[in-house]
Amino acid sequence: MSAMAKAINSKKCQAAVAAASRKDFTENELQDLRTAFGLIDSNQDGKLNKDELHLMMQKLGIDVRPNILEDLVRTASTTGNELLDETEFLQWVRKIQDLRPEEATDDHQKDLMAAFRVFDLDQNGYITRDELKTAMETIGEQVTEQQLSDFITMADTDKDGKINYEEFARLLL
């Protein structure tokens, strides 16, 4: 059994599995999202454009490439004008929450997410080379610099030097 497989099956991983997702926003969440919409809408025109959304994501520490953000906005805009009104924004947030891997209901996906969290030591959504080395040492697996390089090269399909959840899951499936 590989070190990665051991990590997925470890008790630490099982303890890290998140609760199942909710289907609707609570009243407080809805109010918070409406407040957030008003704050993000910097020109107060009742619509969010890709620049306003990009600024919001940057402030939240979420690094999204411009082409991906454009695709997200284009997909979320029901009118096709690449502007989101409040309703489209709320629907967009719901879709994003529904896609979050930590809210997966399938046991295998929960195990994968739990394993990912074991390796993602700072919980920023990425496994860096240093985090991978530390996590492997924590579970008793010594790895060489070459093994680390090989693993990162194999897993890092977007070539940003770190491993996100999708890359991690793809590698182990």
Residue with tokens 């051991």, as numbered in its chain: 6
Model pTM score: 0.45
For the chain, give every domain's residue range.
Answer: 27-99, 103-172
Q: At the topology level of CATH, where does 27-99 sit?
A: Recoverin; domain 1 (1.10.238)
Bridge partners (DSSP) listed for residue 164 = 126
What homologous superfamily does CATH list for 103-172? EF-hand (1.10.238.10)
Q: Which residues of the chain have pLDDT under 70?
A: 1-23, 60-61, 96-106, 173
Topology match between the domains 27-99 and 103-172: yes
Residue 46: per-residue pLDDT: 92
SS (H, E, C) the chain: CCHHHHHHHCHHHHHCCCCCCCCCCCHHHHHHHHHHHHHHCCCCCCCECHHHHHHHHHHCCCCCCHHHHHHHHHHHCCCCCCCECHHHHHHHHHHHHHHCHHHCCCHHHHHHHHHHHHHCCCCCCEECHHHHHHHHHHCCCCCCHHHHHHHHHHHCCCCCCCEEHHHHHHHHC
Residue 12: per-residue pLDDT: 38
